[in-house]
Amino acid sequence: MTGLKERSVGIVMNGVTGRMGYRQHLVRSILAIREQGGLAMPDGTVIRPEPILVGRSEAKLAAIAQRHRLDNWTTDLDAALSDSSAEIYFDAQVTSRRAESVRKAVAAGLHVYTEKPIAEDTETALELARVAASAGVKVGVVQDKLFLPGLRKLKRLVDGGFFGRILSVRGEFGYWVFEGSWQEAQRPSWNYRAEDGGGIIIDMFCHWRYVLEDIFGPVRSVQALAATHIPERVDEQGRTYTCTADDAAYGIFELDGGVVAQINSSWATRVFRDELVEFQVDGTEGSAVAGLRRCRVQHRSVTPKPVWNPDLPATEDFRSQWQEVPDNAEFDNGFKAQWELFLKHVVNDEPFPWDFLAGARGVQLAELGLRSAREGRRIAVDELTL
């Protein structure tokens, strides 16, 4: 082969011992890109990501490094940031640790890619955006839900004009997170403590902001009711702790054009759905139900005419009256797909719209959702600027 140049990109990956950092970002994204032989650029150059693992536990890092035959790892963030091969800093730590580490990375001149939420409050999120802009480094925030096959198909329907005038969106997200007593919890305990950056509103409303805006349009107001349904849980060390953060949020969002979006988010619900998140969209011309992978539609021309009669058992199998939207494309892991775009943004200056201002908009919706819940009222969502 001629003209095949390799371009190594050192990536400081902080928090790879955590759930997201390890599984989705290290294994399913960066190592997967390496295993596929790197990332080819239009000019034939191949980007090869070189992870520099950072975490708090030497033992855990050493085990990960050995398992994946990696040799660059440290518990010293400053040392990793000053590694001469480092170009990108990636953060998948607990949310409360993020801002400080991102500031350090920007000061070290690295480009920054980070998990959401980018900070615990809007002010800090905007400050990070400003600091990064004035340092001239490239930044990005994970917005993985946009890359889910189900939501990609839903967007395709919107773009193709399937719905006519969109009336409403109803989202149902959640599953039962075990309390940790008689069965181990499947989420980390900090998620249930407000003082440690936990809570379902801060966790999920940043996703809902970009999902709603990318697919349907700007969010103009939020009204949320937050609940802490499970008051006590048991942590990773077997200690009982008090839950100080919301574990369910019942939100209503008004979008441009009068579209009403209502999304329930809960870690205290049992799944009677086909997927862990589902959105039903109703429009004048048709409706759709999209999940993580699947998307089904019903056009107005084939809409049945049910008549309310509680004296009779249901006469129709309503679910069977929907039609599957075909993939018509191959969908890669969403985290990996977004990593590839960020790497191309860094190396080849290709566009990457999901910057820190986008991240701050997510944090803003969460912050306003929490305020709405506290004050018991609907709150306008104002435009954010740097």
Which residue has 């095949």 as its token pair?
Answer: 4
Q: Looking at 10, 15, 174, 291, which residue binds ligand NAD (CB under 6 A)? A: 15
AA identity, residue 105: A
d(CA 380, CA 239) in angstroms, rounded, equals 40
Q: Which is nearer to ligand NAD, 297 or 363 (CB)?
A: 363
Which residue has its beta carbon closest to ligand NAD?
18
Q: Is residue 21 close enough to count as binding ligand NAD by CB under 6 A?
A: yes
Which residue has 């069965």 as its token pair?
Answer: 183
Residue-wise over 246-258: b if at least 16 C-beta within 10 A, else e?
bbbbebebbbeee
Q: Looking at 97, 130, 138, 156, which residue binds ligand NAD (CB under 6 A)? A: 97
Give min distance, CB of 187 to ligand NAD, in A: 7
| Residues 57 to 96 in contact with ligand NAD, rule: CB under 6 A | 92-95
**Binding pattern to ligand NAD, positions 126-145, x when CB under 6 A?**
----------------x-x-
Q: Is residue 56 close enough to count as binding ligand NAD by CB under 6 A?
A: yes
- From residue 133, give the alpha-carbon distance in Å to each of 103, 129, 142, 293: 12, 6, 18, 36
Question: What are the residues facing 173 on neighbouring strands?
Answer: 265, 277
Q: Give the DSSP per-residue string, 230-286.
A: --EEE-TTS-EEE--S-SEEEEEEEEGGG-EEEEEEESB----SSSSEEEEEEESSE
Give min distance, CB of 291 to ligand NAD, in A: 15
d(CA 221, CA 29) in angstroms, rounded, equals 35
What are residue 345's phi and psi, to 5 degrees?
-65, -45
Q: Which is nearer to ligand NAD, 61 or 325 (CB)?
A: 61
Q: Which is nearer to ligand NAD, 116 or 345 (CB)?
A: 116
Q: Is residue 18 close enough to count as binding ligand NAD by CB under 6 A?
A: yes
Q: Which is nearer to ligand NAD, 55 or 149 (CB)?
A: 55
Neighbour-count burial of 294, counting CB atoms closer than 10 A to its CB (0-12 exposed, 13-18 middle, 19+ buried): middle
Give min distance, CB of 311 to ligand NAD, in A: 46
Q: Which is nearer to ligand NAD, 251 or 362 (CB)?
A: 362
d(CA 366, CA 360) in angstroms, rounded, equals 10
Q: Is residue 247 close enough to count as binding ligand NAD by CB under 6 A?
A: no
Q: Which is nearer to ligand NAD, 188 or 217 (CB)?
A: 188
| Residues 201 to 220 in contact with ligand NAD, rule: CB under 6 A | 203
Q: Looking at 10, 11, 13, 17, which residue binds ligand NAD (CB under 6 A)? A: 17
Q: Looking at 170, 188, 225, 260, which residue binds ligand NAD (CB under 6 A)? A: 188
Q: Is residue 122 close enough to count as binding ligand NAD by CB under 6 A?
A: no
d(CA 147, CA 151) in angstroms, rounded, equals 7
Q: Please say whether the beta carbons of 118 and 101 come within 8 A.
A: no
Catalog residues that contact ligand NAD under the rule CB under 6 A.
15, 17-21, 55-56, 92-95, 97, 115-116, 142, 144, 188, 190, 203
